[in-house]
C-alpha cells in the first residue's frame, strides 16, 4: 500500500489531545494546581474515536487492496504484523501497571484501592477485552485503564479480515450493510455498545478509504467541502459548540466528521505536510498514547515530593507542567519505538 500523506501529523495531533486530557485529572486527584476549563483539555475521548476512524481507514484499505490484487488474503501475515506492532508495548504497559499498583505503591505505603481480582484482570487483558474489564472496574488505575481502546481495535482486527474475505465478491456492499446494521443497533439497542466497542467508526473510515482507492469521489476535490469539514474538525476539538445530549447524535456527527477529515486530508489533500519530524512523531503516536500515563505518573510523583507549585505562580506551573509532560512523553515514546518496539516490528518500505 502506497504511503498516504498527512496521516502521521494527524496521529500526532490526536495523541496530544489525549495527553493534555489526562494530566489535569491526575493533578486534581493529587491536590496540585490544574487547569481544564478550556474545551481543548477535554477532548481526549473524542481523539480516541478519531483514532478508530483512522485505523479503519488504513486497515480496510489494506485488506481490500489485497483481496482485489490476489483474490485471497494472507491471514497469517496480517495477524502477525498486528501482534508484533501492538502487543509488545501493550503487555509492557500491563506489566508496569500491575507492578506499580500491586507492588510499588504498597511498598511505599501509598494507599490505592485495587478492589478486583488480579487474575481476572490479566485474563481480560490477555484475551483482548480490557474494555469489558475496565467498564466494571474503572478503579483499575489510569495506566491500565487507557488500554480499553487497544482492546476495541484488536477485537475489530480479529473479525474484519474474515468478514471481508467471506464477502469478497461484494465486499464494498457488505461493509456498507454491516455499518448500517451497527448504526441501527445504536438507535434501537444502544446497550450493544456498552463496552465502548464502537466498530462503526472503523467501518465508515474504511468504507471511504476503499471507495477512494477504487475511484476518486469528485465532490471531495471541492475546496468548499474541505473548508467546511476542517472547520467542523477544529471546532469539535477547540469548542463545545457540538455538545450533544443525545448519544446517537454525538456518534453520528463525529463518525461523519472524523471519516471525512481523514479521507480529505489523505486522499484529496489540498496541501501535503512534508516534515520528517512530524512524520516521526506520528509513527511514535502509539507509544505516546500507551506510555503517557506512565510518564505522567512518574513525573507527578517527583513533583509531589518537591512541591515546586508552593513557590511559583499556579498558571506558570501549569504551563510548564504541560510542556514538560509532553516533551518527556515524546522522548520516552521515541526511545520505546527505536529500541523496544522496533525489535518486534519492522515497517516495510513503501513507495511514496
Instruction: Place 350 in a pLDDT band, splitting at 50, 70 and 90.
Output: very low
**Residue 351 falls inside a structural domain:** no
C-alpha grid cell, residue 24: 489535569
Alpha-carbon Rg of the chain, whole angstroms?
21
Report the C-alpha gap between 207 and 202 in whole angstroms: 8
**Residue 58 falls inside a structural domain:** yes
Query: CB neighbours (10 Å) of residue 123?
Result: 12
Report the C-alpha gap between 167 and 72 in whole angstroms: 11
Report the C-alpha gap between 118 and 72 in whole angstroms: 41
pTM of the model: 0.96
pLDDT digits (tens, 9 = 90+) for 179-196: 999 999 999 999 999 999
**Residue 350 falls inside a structural domain:** no
**Residue 101 falls inside a structural domain:** yes
C-alpha grid cell, residue 12: 500526532
Q: How many domains does the chain have?
A: 1
**Among candidate residues 65, 70, 78, the one with its CA nearest the CA of residue 213:** 65
pLDDT of residue 348: 52
Contacts of 340 (CB under 8 A, 6+ apart): 88, 89, 92
pLDDT of residue 112: 84
**Residue 348 falls inside a structural domain:** no
**Residue 352 falls inside a structural domain:** no
Grid cell 496541501 in the structure block, residue: 271
Average pLDDT over residues 160-171: 97
**Residue 2 falls inside a structural domain:** no
Q: Which domain holds residue 177?
A: 7-343
pLDDT of residue 108: 87
**Residue 100 falls inside a structural domain:** yes
CB of 261 closer than 8 Å to CB of 220: no
Amino acid at each position: 500500500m502506497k504511503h498516504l500523506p498527512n496521516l502521521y501529523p494527524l496521529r500526532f495531533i490526536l495523541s496530544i489531545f489525549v495527553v493534555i486530557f489526562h494530566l489535569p485529572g491526575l493533578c486534581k486527584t493529587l491536590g496540585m494546581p490544574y487547569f481544564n476549563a478550556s474545551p481543548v483539555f477535554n477532548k481526549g475521548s473524542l481523539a480516541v474515536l478519531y483514532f478508530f476512524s483512522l485505523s479503519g481507514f488504513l486497515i480496510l484499505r489494506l485488506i481490500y487492496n489485497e483481496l482485489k490484487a490476489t483474490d485471497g488474503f494472507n491471514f497469517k501475515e496480517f495477524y502477525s504484523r498486528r501482534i508484533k506492532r501492538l502487543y509488545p508495548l501493550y503487555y509492557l504497559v500491563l506489566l508496569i501497571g500491575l507492578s506499580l499498583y500491586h507492588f510499588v505503591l504498597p511498598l511505599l505505603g501509598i494507599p490505592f484501592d485495587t478492589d478486583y481480582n488480579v487474575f481476572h484482570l490479566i485474563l481480560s487483558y490477555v484475551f483482548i477485552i480490557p474494555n469489558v474489564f475496565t467498564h466494571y472496574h474503572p478503579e483499575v488505575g489510569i495506566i491500565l485503564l487507557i488500554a480499553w481502546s487497544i482492546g476495541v481495535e484488536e477485537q475489530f482486527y480479529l473479525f474484519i479480515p474474515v468478514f471481508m474475505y467471506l464477502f469478497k465478491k461484494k465486499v464494498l456492499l457488505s461493509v456498507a450493510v454491516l455499518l448500517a446494521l451497527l448504526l441501527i443497533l445504536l438507535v434501537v439497542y444502544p446497550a450493544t455498545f456498552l463496552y465502548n466497542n464502537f466498530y462503526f467508526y472503523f467501518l465508515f473510515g474504511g468504507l471511504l478509504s476503499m471507495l477512494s482507492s477504487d475511484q476518486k469521489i469528485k465532490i471531495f476535490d471541492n475546496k468548499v467541502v474541505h473548508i467546511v469539514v476542517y472547520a467542523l474538525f477544529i471546532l469539535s476539538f477547540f469548542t463545545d459548540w457540538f455538545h450533544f445530549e443525545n448519544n446517537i447524535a454525538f456518534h453520528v456527527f463525529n463518525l461523519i466528521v472524523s471519516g471525512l477529515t481523514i479521507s480529505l486530508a489523505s486522499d484529496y489533500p489540498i496541501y501535503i505536510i512534508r516534515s520528517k519530524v512530524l512524520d516521526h512523531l506520528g509513527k511514535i503516536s502509539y507509544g505516546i498514547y500507551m506510555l503517557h500515563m506512565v510518564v505522567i505518573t512518574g513525573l507527578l510523583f517527583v513533583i509531589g515530593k518537591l512541591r515546586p507549585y508552593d513557590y511559583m505562580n499556579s498558571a506558570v506551573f501549569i504551563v510548564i507542567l504541560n510542556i514538560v509532560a509532553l516533551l518527556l512523553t515524546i522522548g520516552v515514546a521515541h526511545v520505546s519505538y527505536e529500541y523496544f518496539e522496533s525489535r518486534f516490528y519492522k515497517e516495510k518500505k513503501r513507495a511514496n
